[in-house]
């Protein structure tokens, strides 16, 4: 059964799409089968991997015109693309019955196919994000190690708690990913210390270091492993992917024990 992960932060520029792509690619490096869902109307994930416009994107699927149609990027890694059309989806679905569960229903047929379903959420807390959270097992928060990135974390946690209470009892805050980290900067170190105080062991041990290869890879329409396998960015995302597998396996074992009892 595929593990569904949403990457969420309503602040832009924190490395959310970069993390979605490279966590997906890192999990593939670990032998997992992964599908990425580009749920952002800006379609940055789609563009970063050089995927041409598809006849059927996540927009058509959400409108009920089609099932999900994956685009194969490389062995083990598929993508459901996005387009600017998705920006109108929230208004179009406002009167739709059960509109919070549309994505969950779309995922049901593919959960047995993939080990991980990773959703790149839009930088907002609207209906699209609500759909992502309702369908997810866990939320990961990519967080740039700068002061302003800390603002709004309480709001994100509040939204997650409300969705868990009202719509998805299984939803968990799976982890916080510190991105664009430079150990030479006191501010970066202070921010990491702060998020450890606030989130404790939810913070991943792996810090995603500031690395030019991570910025260059999308320009070449590649993930970091395809672009520069020996870069610090590739090392960090592979390490992070290993942590994610450890956490999801631990979560799976905990659920099995609870069911057995």
pLDDT tens digit sequence for 90-126: 889 888 889 999 999 999 999 999 999 999 999 888 8
Distance CA 203, CA 253 (A): 20
Rounded CA-CA distance 255/249 in Å is 10
pLDDT confidence of residue 252: 63
Sheet containing strand 172-179, strands side by side = 71-74, 77-80, 34-38, 116-120, 3-7, 138-144, 172-179
Token code pair at residue 41 = 């109307």
Q: Which residues contact 230 (CB under 8 A, 6 or more apart)?
A: none
Whether the per-residue pLDDT at 79 is higher than 50: the answer is yes
Question: For 3-260, CATH number?
Answer: 3.40.50.300
pLDDT on residue 55: 94
Q: Summarize pLDDT for 126-163 with one digit per residue, the tens.
A: 899 999 999 999 999 999 998 888 887 888 999 999 99
Indicate whether 177 pLDDT > 50: yes
- Taking 60 as the threshold, does the pLDDT of residue 256 lie above it? no
pLDDT of residue 260: 44
Structural domain spans, the chain: 3-260
Whole-structure pTM value = 0.94
Paired with 77 in beta bridges are 34, 74
The model's confidence at residue 214, banded by pLDDT at 50, 70 and 90, is very high
To the nearest 10 degrees (0 to 180), the angle between helices 127-135 and 153-166 is 60
Grade residue 242 by pLDDT with cuts at 50, 70 and 90: very high
């Amino acid at each position: 059964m595929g593990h569904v992960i949403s990457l969420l932060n309503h602040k832009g520029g924190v490395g959310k799409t970069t993390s979605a792509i490279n966590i997906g690619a890192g999990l593939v490096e670990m032998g997992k089968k992964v599908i990425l869902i580009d749920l952002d109307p800006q379609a940055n994930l789609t563009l970063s991997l050089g995927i041409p416009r598809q006849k059927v994107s996540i927009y058509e699927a959400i409108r009920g015109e089609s099932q999900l149609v994956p685009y194969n990027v490389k062995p083990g890694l598929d993508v459901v693309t996005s387009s600017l059309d998705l920006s109108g989806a929230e208004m179009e679905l406002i009167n739709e019955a059960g509109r919070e569960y549309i994505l969950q229903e779309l995922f049901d047929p593919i959960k047995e196919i993939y080990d991980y379903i990773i959703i790149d959420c839009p930088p907002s807390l609207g209906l699209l994000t609500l759909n992502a959270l309702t369908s997810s097992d866990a939320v990961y928060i990519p967080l740039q190690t700068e002061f302003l990135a800390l603002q709004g974390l309480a709001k994100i946690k509040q939204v997650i708690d409300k969705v868990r209470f009202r719509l998805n009892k299984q939803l968990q805050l799976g982890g916080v990913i510190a991105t664009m980290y430079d150990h030479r900067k006191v501010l970066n170190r202070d921010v990491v210390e702060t998020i450890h105080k606030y989130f404790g062991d939810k913070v991943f041990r792996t810090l995603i270091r500031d690395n030019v290869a991570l910025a260059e890879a999308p320009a070449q329409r590649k993930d970091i492993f395809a672009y520069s396998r020996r870069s610090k960015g590739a090392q960090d995302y592979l390490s992070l992917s290993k942590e994610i597998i450890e956490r999801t396996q631990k979560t799976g074992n905990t659920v099995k024990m609870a069911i057995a009892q």
